[in-house]
Each structure stands twice: as structure tokens, then as C-alpha cells.
Amino acid sequence: MLGIGVMTGTSLDGVDLCLIEINDEFRKTKLIEFDSYPYSEKMINKIRSTLREPVLTLEAITKLDFEIGEELAYAMNRFIDEKQIVRRKIDFAAIHGQTMWHNSKANGMVPSTLQIGNPSIVAQRTGLTIVSNFREKDIACGGEGAPLVPATEYLLYQDPKKNQVFVNIGGICNLTYLPKNNKKEQVRAFDTGPGNMMMNYVTSRYYQLPYDSGGKIAATGTVVQELFQELILHPYLSQPIPKSTGREQFGDAYTESMIQKYASEKSEDLLCTFTHFSAYALVEGLKQLDVIDAIFIAGGGVHNGYLRTCIKRYLQKAEIDASIDSFEKVSNPDAKEAVAFAVLGYLRLREMPGNLPSATGAKRETILGSVILPN
């Protein structure tokens, strides 16, 4: 099958799209094309303002659902045209949607999740079969609804010679531990805490930039120790796995509250501190795993050289002796999550389970996703 994967992350940096060739021999899955198209500034502001509202009207969230659907469809049509993909040969497209709310069971509230970007709009505008709505079924089965990528990593990247950890640093940072014994029940996966989310908020607030390119601004600052000590005491870091998190705990509201509390500090020092916090949280997550031979980093954070330096520093402090490399040694690090959702779309159409209970905490494996036909 030929499938398109579409990923829109919590970083709000746009729409990632890939084209893959896939069959039941998952290790032979081929990444054919990849590209990323930024959200328009208008769309970013609309999503951000919606996320910041403590109470939303039904009108606001419904309109945004359809507007993001149009944005996703536009990106997909552009991708197909620019890559000169023969549309009639595409078997399906899988869309993650834009996460507006994700609340795990760990914090005592009713577990719930919401991704928007209306799939019916996307199906009609593109003429493709659309698979979407992946997270809800796992929650219905007692899981966190996240992370879902580990099930695809287990199928795609298993290595009988190495205990591997795959890290994705998007808005939120998550990891997957794949033991070399290939035992599915021993796979571990969870969100470690913030990835780029808090850092991006600082660069947007103080520098009118979407992110700290290469970590160059953070590298000029120093850690605000009092702030750092407060951050590392965040209760999420001590919650047992499996667990997942999102903007509800590490988004704009929380970041702004920390900034206000330490308003006398320099902006570069705040950014430096939040960068260290992301690295620290990741390594604290790694400390909960068994022996690690190799770590591969993907997502937007892989391009932040200062963040990677911080990660190596905390790995040394934790005495974790593992190689650490970009995911590019395996495949395209920017395409990793788009590929994952394309694989999840394929699993849905083949009526195969798409979750990994050892990662999400679900009571059983289950088929994920809803299918929308174009006609």
C-alpha cells in the first residue's frame, strides 16, 4: 500500500507529511517522500488564543475544527502536487489532528483527549480515504491514549543486538524502550515531560521567534538555580509509568506563571533554565529503564545543539553509558512521527491492533482509528 502520514504536533510548527510504501513486512517499510509546511501566522495565533481561553464556546471549537481540516487538506494537496504523486495510487492518508486537550488518568481527573482537524473535510478536499481519531479507543480500553508511536517503533526498528531507546523531542518529549529480546510486554514508553514547548514560549514571548535555532540564545544564558529546583519538583516527573502529559501541565499557562515568578531574571537565563529542565526530565525518564545500549533522538529538538549538549551532561551525571545519536542514522528524524501515523493508518485498514498496552496502560490491544471515505 501507499499511504500518507500527517502529523501536527504540540509545538504548532506546522504540518509534517510523508509518503510511505508499506505491507505486512513492516521492517521493509519505505519512506518515499517527506516535507513540512508551516501553519500560517493567522492559524498559529488562532490555535494559541483558543488554547489559552479557560472556557471555550461550542462555536469557537467547532469552527476551529473545520478550519484546521481545511488547513490539513491544503497541505496534503500541496504535498501531492509538489512531489508529483499520482493521487489515484494513494491508498489512504492518516491524520493525527491538532491536539487541543489531553488529560491522562494520572492526575486524578477523567481521562480524555481531543484532536481536531475535521477528517470529513480532508477526505472531500483531497479525494482520499482518511484514517483519524486514533487516541480515543485506547482510552476506552483503560489506557492513556498515548504514546501511540511505540507500537509502530516496535514493528519498524527492532534490533536483536541492542537495547534501544527512541526519543522524540517535539512540544512534549517522549521515549520508547525496545529491548533486544523482542518481547512486546517489556517495551516501555511514556512522555518524560516538556520538550520544546516551554522553550518555544520563551523565544516567542521575548524574541518574537518561533524557536531558539540551534539553542544559540539559551547557550548565552546561565541556569537560574531557584527556578530549576522548582521545575524539577513538578509532580509529573515522579508519577509512575505508563504516563502521558501535554499542554495541560507544561503549556503556556504554566510557563508564564514561572516567568512571572522569576520576572527579574534575564530572558536568556530563563530560556537556558527551561532548556536544562527538558534535558533533565528526559534523563530522569531514562533512569527508569533497564540497560540501554543506544539512544536515538528525533523531532524538532534534534536540531537544538545546546539541548543535546545538556542531555549528554545529565546522562553523564546519571552514569548512563549509552551511545547517543540523531535518528538520522536510522531514517529521517523529522519524518518519524508522520511515518508512525501512516503505519497506524495501515494497521487500521488491515484491522490489526495499533496500541501497545505496556506503553499506554490499556487493558488489551485494540484496533485504533476511524475511517472516512471520500465519497
Same domain, 180 and 141: no
Co-location of 51 and 182 in the same domain: no
2-7 and 92-95 strand pairing: parallel
d(CA 119, CA 76): 12
pLDDT in tens, 171-201: 899 999 999 998 888 999 999 999 999 999 9
Q: Looking at the structure, tell me whether residues 297 and 180 fall in a common domain.
A: yes
Cell of 202: 520563551
122: closest CA among 101, 149, 94, 141? 94
Say if 124 falls within a structural domain.
yes
Chosen domain end from 310, 329, 348 = 329
The grid coordinates of residue 6 equal: 500527517
Residue 201: other Cβ atoms inside 10 A: 25
Residues 324 and 334: beta-carbon distance below 8 Å: no
**What are 265's three cell numbers?**
531574571
Mark whether 133 and 256 lie in a shared domain: no
pTM: 0.85
Q: In CATH, what number is assigned to the domain containing residue 275?
A: 3.30.420.40
pLDDT at residue number 14: 83
Closest by Cα among 192, 206, 207 to 307? 192
Residue that the C-alpha cell 505486512 belongs to: 24
Mean pLDDT of the chain: 93
CA distance 250 to 284: 16
> In this structure, is residue 275 part of a structural domain?
yes
How do residues 276-298 score in pLDDT, each as one tens digit?
999 999 999 999 999 999 999 99
Shared domain for 133 and 274, answered yes or no, is no
Q: Determine, yes or no, domain membership for 129.
A: yes
Let me know whether 251 and 292 are in one domain.
yes
Please say whether the beta carbons of 150 and 368 come within 8 A.
no
Query: What pLDDT score does 105 carry?
Result: 63
- Non-local CB neighbours of 34 within 8 Å, separated by 6+ positions: 16, 17, 18, 19, 332, 334, 335, 338
Question: Same domain for 278 and 341?
Answer: no
> Which residues of the chain are under the pLDDT cut of 50?
none
Q: Is residue 92 part of a domain?
A: yes
At 106 the pLDDT is 53
Cell numbers 503505519: residue: 343
Tell me: do 283 and 346 sit in the same domain. Answer: no
Domain membership of residue 151 (yes or no) is no
Nearest to 290 by CA among 164, 146, 193, 169: 164
- Count of domains for the chain: 2
Please check whether residues 173 and 321 belong to one and the same domain.
yes
Residue 150 lies in a domain: no
Whether residue 258 is contained in a domain is answered as yes
Q: Answer yes or no: do 41 and 118 share one domain.
A: yes
Residues 291 and 363 in one domain: no
The full 3-state SS of 311-361, as one line of letters, equals HHHHHHHCCCCCEEEEHHHCCCCCCHHHHHHHHHHHHHHCCCCCCCHHHHC
Omega of the bond prior to 242 within 30 degrees of 0, cis? yes
Instruction: Tell me whether residue 358 is in a domain.
Output: yes
Other residues' Cβ atoms within 10 Å of the Cβ of residue 36: 17
8's grid cell: 501536527
SS3 323: strand
Range of the domain at 238: 158-329
Same domain, 141 and 223: no
